[in-house]
Amino acid sequence: MSIFMGKRIVLGVTGGVAAYKAAELARLLGKAGANVHCVLTEAASRFVTPASFQALTGNPAWSDLWDVRMPNGMAHIDLTRGAAALVVAPASANSIAKYVHGMADDLLSTLVLARDCPLVVCPAMNRQMWENSATQRNVAQLRQDGALILGPAAGEQACGEVGMGRMLEPEQIVAGLEAFFTPKLLAGKRVLMTAGPTYEALDPVRGITNLSSGKMGYALARACANAGAEVTLVSGPVSLATPAGVRRIDVKSALEMRDAVLRHVAQAGIFIAVAAVADYRPANVSAHKLKKSGATGLTIAMEQNPDILSEVAALSSAPFCVGFAAESQNLDEYATTKRAKKGIPLIVGNLVQDGMGGDANRVVLYDDSGRHELPAGSKDAVAADIVVYLANLLGA
């Protein structure tokens, strides 16, 4: 289930051109299951209108401290009561300065002062405003006061300048909030993972690979990092962004993946092998592009790749090993046999037709205590459930 489900989030929008992105943020939070209430400053409503936020969230949007719609006239108190967070995005330099000093001269700054929930601030401003020592002092103070600061990012700015000060993209803010809300079940744990396919070269331009998208492995890396683990992800070639806080090592072939894993395994307490590692690689890699040779077919001699997971599990000081079994049939039988053969405590099984390449998955976990089916869902949701199960197993 989404960590946002049923959470009340107050989204404060201050005056900056990035305010238009706050509308998308409100939509994404609502889509993830949050109950979103938006508060705009007077300057924000010069860029965007409360009507957009009301339409996107299904809740009234607020901006006036003297608004009489709240029955007791206490919008500045009541809006954040029961809220999981007050998120200010974009947060202008001026608004940050006000929060640092406890000023309460409009509805949003009064809410910040009167809140009893965490404050999350997503700065957005011109790069000179960001770099100004006053802003830097204020942000440091706000952080010290317990606020979570998400961003800013560097890049092209609306003013035409390039530098630090862009608001994070709405998806990145949602990811940051997700990490913030996730219980830190793996705090202090070091997790080493593999993900994605491998690519076994035949010649400089051709190779043998498979259809693994890497999405399940990346979702699991994100879920482990969200749960407080230090994550190193050895990744085959995929076109996915590295989850925030995850250290990624790019490799191509199974042999490179094995080398990277063996280099880092001594530091790991948990090893999760999600990668779809090629079982075989071409025995000879041609230094030059192979040419067509008449009418005869091409025979490629193959040799077996090492089984990285079995090798790690057999180490004298092996980390807790988790494997994956993607099967097209007989899941229970094949996954159970694989777990025993590889000598690992936990294996995650799925039918390829349920998960490969897509954004959703349905998995069954197999361990000493038997078979445990997890609810089907998005790969992110399934990954979060696997982490909870894993943490319980380690705790027990």
Query: Closest separation between CB of residue 338 and ligand C5P, Å?
Result: 6
Q: Which is nearer to ligand C5P, 149 or 262 (CB)?
A: 262
Site for ligand C5P in 191-230 (CB under 6 A): 194
Read off the DSSP letter of residue 318. P
| Total chain residues near ligand C5P (CB under 6 A) | 14
Among 37, 222, 338, 339, binds ligand C5P (CB under 6 A): 338
> CB under 6 A: which stretch of 142-150, 228-236, 237-245, 269-277 binds ligand C5P?
269-277
Annotation marks residue 38 as catalytic? no
- Of 272, 278, 296, 281, nearest to 197 (Cα)? 278
Q: Which is nearer to ligand C5P, 99 or 366 (CB)?
A: 366
Which listed residue (38, 122, 159, 224) is catalytic?
A: 159
Residues facing 270 on adjacent strands: 191, 320
Among 19, 254, 381, 387, binds ligand C5P (CB under 6 A): 254
- The label of the residue with tokens 């199974």 reads 254
C-alpha distances in Å from residue 363, one per residue of 50, 142, 194, 325: 42, 42, 18, 10
Query: Closest separation between CB of residue 305 and ligand C5P, Å?
Result: 5
Site for ligand C5P in 289-328 (CB under 6 A): 305, 307-309, 323-325
Q: Which residues, in sequence order, are CB contacts of 240 under 8 Å at separation 6+?
A: 196, 213, 214, 215, 218
Gap between the Cα atoms of 167 and 85, Å rounded: 18
**Rg of the chain in Å (alpha carbons):** 25
Read off the DSSP letter of residue 246. E
Q: Which is nearer to ligand C5P, 186 or 325 (CB)?
A: 325
Residue 275 binds ligand C5P (CB under 6 A): yes
Alpha carbon 61 to chain centroid, angstroms:
29
Residue 361 binds ligand C5P (CB under 6 A): no
> CB under 6 A: which stretch of 23-31, 159-167, 270-278, 361-369 binds ligand C5P?
270-278
Gap between the Cα atoms of 115 and 97, Å rounded: 17
Phi, psi of 294 (to 5 degrees): 60, -150
Residue 273 binds ligand C5P (CB under 6 A): yes
Q: Which is nearer to ligand C5P, 4 or 324 (CB)?
A: 324
- What are the residues binding ligand C5P (CB under 6 A)? 194, 254, 273-275, 277, 305, 307-309, 323-325, 338
